[in-house]
Amino acid sequence: MKKWLVIIVIAGLLGMKWMDREQETAKNELNIETVQTSADKGSKNLTVIPKEQIYQGNLLLVNKDYPVHDTGVSQDIIRLLDHEELTSGYLLLDHKTMLSRQVAEKFTEMVQAASMEDINSFLISSGYRDNDKQQQLYDEKGADYALPPGYSEHNLGLSLDIGSSQMSMSRAPEGQWLRDNAWDYGFILRYPEDKTDITGIKYEPWHFRYVGLPHSVIMRDKNFTLEEYLEFLKEQQSITTTVNGTKYQISYVEVQGNTPVPVPAGKHVELSGDNISGVIMTVYP
């Protein structure tokens, strides 16, 4: 009788351990899956945001205080000259120029739109730079004209220096067209003339950064730099806006570990870290 009692107790303990393992496995699976839940206002998905997302995405803030993490570099970097379909409508100052394919596609779309208004003397003088190339530039130009490796937006693959083959960008029709229209294609003038006290970088009429819609349009309408926009989202926590007929809900999520966030089912969800401590979640139909 005692023997059977011992067997039953051992089996019970093993069963408890098995249940613990199953629960832990379920928690781990949340990191890569969405779980559908019910809510009073409709079905929602529980999306788990991993901490690593803080350092990935189109809205990363990169400057002297916040360097690029290895996972923050765009995963679709290409050499532009290898893709003929992405090199029409502008010139390349350096045939080795590299860039995120997503950004190259949007840039091509943008210059094609400009050409419809007879603005067609664009060139790209710089795109993605790896740390070695950034170090070389830093050594040649010095701290007054370049940032050290890892602290430049060019290390992301989302920024490019755009020029005109006719004259300087501060006077060129290409520069004026971009200042008026780049926002509609997801680009921002990253270092405006009247915001050097915020960005810490002198006016660069040639430096444009891809952040995507609807963020670029909001930043234009509110006259925000990227620094100001991220701070605005952190303060507001959640905003809604309509751009080109599409309604967007944008939320700031503080992330300290794997963080579950409910989102409406059947919606597109885009996540971007701010490279500081949070993630911007953009939800749209």
pLDDT value of residue 43: 81
234 shares a domain with 167 = no
99 shares a domain with 189 = yes
Q: Has residue 7 been placed in a domain? A: no
189 shares a domain with 120 = yes
Q: Has residue 203 been placed in a domain? A: yes
pLDDT value of residue 163: 98
Q: Are 202 and 191 in contact (CB under 8 A)?
A: yes
236 shares a domain with 223 = yes
Q: What is d(CA 177, CA 200) in angstroms, rounded to the nearest whole number?
A: 25
CA 4 to chain centre: 62
124 membership: H or E segment, kind and range: strand 122-126
pTM: 0.85
Domain range for 197 is 75-210
236 shares a domain with 153 = no
183 shares a domain with 114 = yes
pLDDT value of residue 45: 86
Among all chains, which residue has been given the structure tokens 């200042």? 179
pLDDT value of residue 192: 97
Please tell me the total count of domains within the chain: 2
Determine the residue type at 139: D
200 shares a domain with 79 = yes
Q: Has residue 237 been placed in a domain? A: yes
According to DSSP, the β-strands at 122-126 and 90-92 are parallel
166 shares a domain with 125 = yes
Selection from 224, 223, 253 nearest residue 238 by Cα? 253
Report the chain (285 residues): mean pLDDT per 10 consecutive residues: 38 40 36 39 83 98 96 97 94 96 98 97 97 93 88 97 96 97 98 96 97 98 98 98 97 95 92 98 97
Given 168, 193, 210, the domain boundary residue is 210
pLDDT value of residue 22: 39
pLDDT value of residue 42: 64
Q: Has residue 33 been placed in a domain? A: no
10: left (phi over 0), alpha (psi -120 to 50) or beta: alpha
Domain with residue 138: its CATH number is: 3.30.1380.10
280 membership: H or E segment, kind and range: strand 278-284
pLDDT value of residue 264: 87
Q: Has residue 143 been placed in a domain? A: yes
Domain with residue 270: its CATH number is: 3.30.200.180
pLDDT value of residue 41: 54
Which residues are annotated as catalytic?
204
Q: Has residue 240 been placed in a domain? A: yes
106 shares a domain with 187 = yes
Q: Has residue 84 been placed in a domain? A: yes
Q: What is d(CA 254, CA 65) in angstroms, rounded to the nearest whole number?
A: 19
Q: What is d(CA 47, CA 39) in angstroms, rounded to the nearest whole number?
A: 15
Given 163, 181, 210, the domain boundary residue is 210
At 267, give phi and psi (nearest 5°): -110, 155
At 6, give phi and psi (nearest 5°): -65, -40
162 shares a domain with 45 = no
Model confidence over 244-277: pLDDT tens digits?
Answer: 999 999 999 999 999 999 988 999 999 999 999 9
Given 210, 238, 264, the domain boundary residue is 210
Q: Has residue 70 been placed in a domain? A: no
Q: What is d(CA 57, CA 230) in angstroms, rounded to the nearest whole number?
A: 13
136 shares a domain with 117 = yes
202 shares a domain with 219 = no
